[in-house]
């Protein structure tokens, strides 16, 4: 905030200028509400929406890839069986016709599948477009409505990540924003997470197989961790022979890259599940399953281009830091400040304070910012209020001012303007 960068002269010269500033205040106050968000700030805020556009696209890409794979498989299967039919000599005419007709119906099946796949792809592509349009639809006039939707989107993202699916669904439906949130994508995660919570690695392994190439690219160890857990469960069940066979089949391939973990786990064959040795005891802790759930979430977020933390946490952290001042924790903190509330104070405790390069003065009476248009004035006792508030008080009380914090009474003419830069 800049107030009167270079006022020449002392306080006495300013009584005339206050008259003009006051009339100005009235007009700017009205226009300010419309301009409260400037265009560059809006653009900057839209740049935070990467996840919003990325997730539906990754979803579409996945569908396209999967559909293509099935098409490829079918076509090559048909071509090779066609060759088989033509090559086989012992086939009677009728048999040849029969197997050729079956190939045709197989291709008809493929075409049906293609159509079906195309429909899903189109729907998902439409979702990508809706999101692009939604970002473009920000309009200064309806900004508050748009911002409200954004908050709801952020909340739905949080609910989905916390597995509060019902709340997420209800919120999305009641606000009519289903196209703008990723409930469908999270259905895929829900299956895996539910199974892991029931100590079943099946769906998680299937998910790994589904996304094999991408997981490999990001050097993910998730599948290995699932395998380790399955091995541990066999040891826990004292099924040692099967555990060894399992290890040979599923763990050995990881030996080249993860020998240490492999060795550690193999040692449990000797220590057994009731071991007190901390290094191995931890492997039998049921919390390992929670760890797998967390691990899965991170892999899942990564594949879909989501942030590793819920959007809510990221925004809340940045917002609370920017709002946090030493004054927030005082008893007379205004209740409009979120940090006047215990819950928000708790969250903000470990966060840094905001940094200020310029003074920002808020009038104690009107709670409005004091700036060039509404400059601060000093009472004889050193207390400072905005011109607007003091002027209003003087008009109501025949030019008398009463300090609301000390009770001091003085004349409007005794006030002195303060210059803050």
Partner 1 sequence: MEFNSLKDSFERVAKKQKVSYSKTHKVADLIVQEIDKAIQMVQSSTLEYKSKLAELKKKLQEVSPLSQLEGTQKELNIALSKYPKALEKVLNPDISKAYRNIEFDSRVVNQIIACHFYRQGLFEIGDCLIAEAQDVEAAATMKLLFQELHQILEAMKSWNLKPALKWAAANSDKLKENGSDLHLRLHHLQFLKILQKGSRDEALKYARTNFVSFAGNHMAEIQKLMGCLLYSDRLHESPYAHLLSSTNWDTVTEKLTRQFCNLLGKSYESPLSVAIAAGIQSLPPLLKFMTVMAGKKHEWQTTKQLPVPIELDKEFQFHSIFVCPVSKEQSTDDNPPMMLSCGHVLCKQSINKMSKNGSKSFKCPYCPTGINLTQCRQLMF
| Window 322-381: residues binding partner 1 (CB under 8 A) | 322-323, 325-328, 333-338, 340-341, 343-344, 346-347, 350-362, 364, 367-369, 376, 378
Give the nearer residue to partner 1 in terms of CB position, either 22 or 365.
365
Residues between 160 and 179 with contacts to partner 1, criterion CB under 8 A: 162, 164-167, 170-171, 174
Q: Which of 28, 120, 121, 271 binds partner 1 (CB under 8 A)?
A: 121
- Phi/psi at 325 (5° precision): -130, 160
Q: How far is the CB of 157 from partner 1 (least distance, A)?
A: 12
Give the nearer residue to partner 1 in terms of CB position, either 56 or 234.
56
Give the nearer residue to partner 1 in terms of CB position, either 253 or 352.
352
Residues between 261 and 320 with contacts to partner 1, criterion CB under 8 A: 305, 307-309, 311-320
Are 252 and 315 in contact, with CB atoms under 8 Å apart? no
How many CB atoms lie under 10 A from the CB of residue 80?
A: 9
Encode burial over 158-176: b for 16+ CB neighbours within 10 A, e otherwise.
bbbbebeeeebbebbeebe
Strands 416-417 and 376-378 come out as antiparallel
Task: Report if residue 398 touches partner 1, rule: CB under 8 A.
Answer: no
Name the DSSP class of 341: S
Which of the stretches 7-15, 223-231, 261-269, 387-395 binds partner 1 when contact is defined by CB under 8 A? 7-15
Closest among 100, 80, 103, 78 to 91, alpha carbons compared? 100
Q: Which of 321, 366, 392, 408 binds partner 1 (CB under 8 A)?
A: 321
Which long-range CB contacts under 8 A does 136-143 form with residues at least 24 apart? 138/42, 138/46, 140/34, 140/37, 140/42, 143/37, 143/42
Give the nearer residue to partner 1 in terms of CB position, either 269 or 293.
293
The alpha carbon of residue 272 and the mean position of all alpha carbons in its chain are separated, in whole angstroms, by 42
Give the nearer residue to partner 1 in terms of CB position, either 124 or 268.
124
Residues between 195 and 214 with contacts to partner 1, criterion CB under 8 A: none
Are 379 and 410 in contact, with CB atoms under 8 Å apart? yes
**How far apart are the C-alpha atoms of 393 and 413, rounded to whole Å?**
13
Strand runs labelled E in 156-253: none
| Contact track, partner 1, 219-258, x by CB under 8 A | ----------------------------------------
Closest among 344, 290, 355 to 322, alpha carbons compared? 355
Residues between 40 and 99 with contacts to partner 1, criterion CB under 8 A: 41, 43-51, 53-54, 57-58, 60-61, 64, 68, 71-72, 75-76, 78-79, 82-83, 85-87, 93, 96-97
Closest among 314, 245, 321, 239 to 272, alpha carbons compared? 239
Encode burial over 192-201: b for 16+ CB neighbours within 10 A, e otherwise.
bbebbeeeeb
# residues near partner 1 by CB under 8 A: 138
Task: Report if residue 108 touches partner 1, rule: CB under 8 A.
Answer: yes
Task: Report if residue 29 touches partner 1, rule: CB under 8 A.
Answer: no
Name the DSSP class of 13: G
Give the nearer residue to partner 1 in terms of CB position, either 123 or 252.
123
Q: Which of 22, 28, 120, 125 binds partner 1 (CB under 8 A)?
A: 125
């Amino acid at each position: 905030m800049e107030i009167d960068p270079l006022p020449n002269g002392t306080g006495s010269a300013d009584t005339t200028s206050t008259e003009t500033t006051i009339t100005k205040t009235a007009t700017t106050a009205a226009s300010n509400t419309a301009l409260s968000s400037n265009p560059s700030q809006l653009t900057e805020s839209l740049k935070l929406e990467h996840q919003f556009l990325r997730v539906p696209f990754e979803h579409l890409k996945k569908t396209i890839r999967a559909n293509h794979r099935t098409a490829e498989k079918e076509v090559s299967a048909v071509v090779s069986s066609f060759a088989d039919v033509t090559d086989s000599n012992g086939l009677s005419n009728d048999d040849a016709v029969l197997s050729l007709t079956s190939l045709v119906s197989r291709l008809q099946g493929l075409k049906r599948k293609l159509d079906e796949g195309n429909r899903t792809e189109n729907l998902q592509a439409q979702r990508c477009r809706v999101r692009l349009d939604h970002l473009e639809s920000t309009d200064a006039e309806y900004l508050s409505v748009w911002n409200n939707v954004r908050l709801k989107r952020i909340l739905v993202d949080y609910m989905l990540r916390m597995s509060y699916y019902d709340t997420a669904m209800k919120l999305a439906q009641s606000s009519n924003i289903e196209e703008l949130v990723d409930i469908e994508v999270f259905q895929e995660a829900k299956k895996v997470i539910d199974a892991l919570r029931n100590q079943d690695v099946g769906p998680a392994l299937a998910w790994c197989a589904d996304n094999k190439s991408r997981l490999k690219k990001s050097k993910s160890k998730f599948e290995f961790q699932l395998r380790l857990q399955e091995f541990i469960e066999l040891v826990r069940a004292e099924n040692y022979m099967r555990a060894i066979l399992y290890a040979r089949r599923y763990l050995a391939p990881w030996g080249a890259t993860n020998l240490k973990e492999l060795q550690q786990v193999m040692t449990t064959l000797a220590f057994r599940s009731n071991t007190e040795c901390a290094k191995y005891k931890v492997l039998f802790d049921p919390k390992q399953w929670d760890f797998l759930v967390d691990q899965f979430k991170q892999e899942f977020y990564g594949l879909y281009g989501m942030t590793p933390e819920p959007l809510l946490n990221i925004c809340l952290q940045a917002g609370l830091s920017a709002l946090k001042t030493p004054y927030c924790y005082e008893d007379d903190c205004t209740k409009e400040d979120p940090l006047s509330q215990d819950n928000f104070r708790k969250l903000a405790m470990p966060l840094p304070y905001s940094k200020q390069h310029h003074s920002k003065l808020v009038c104690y009476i009107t709670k409005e910012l004091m700036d060039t248009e509404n400059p601060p004035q000093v009472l004889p006792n050193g207390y400072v209020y905005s011109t607007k508030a003091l002027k209003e008080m003087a008009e109501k009380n025949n030019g008398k001012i009463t300090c609301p914090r000390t009770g001091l009474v003085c004349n409007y003419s005794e006030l002195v303007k303060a210059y803050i830069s």
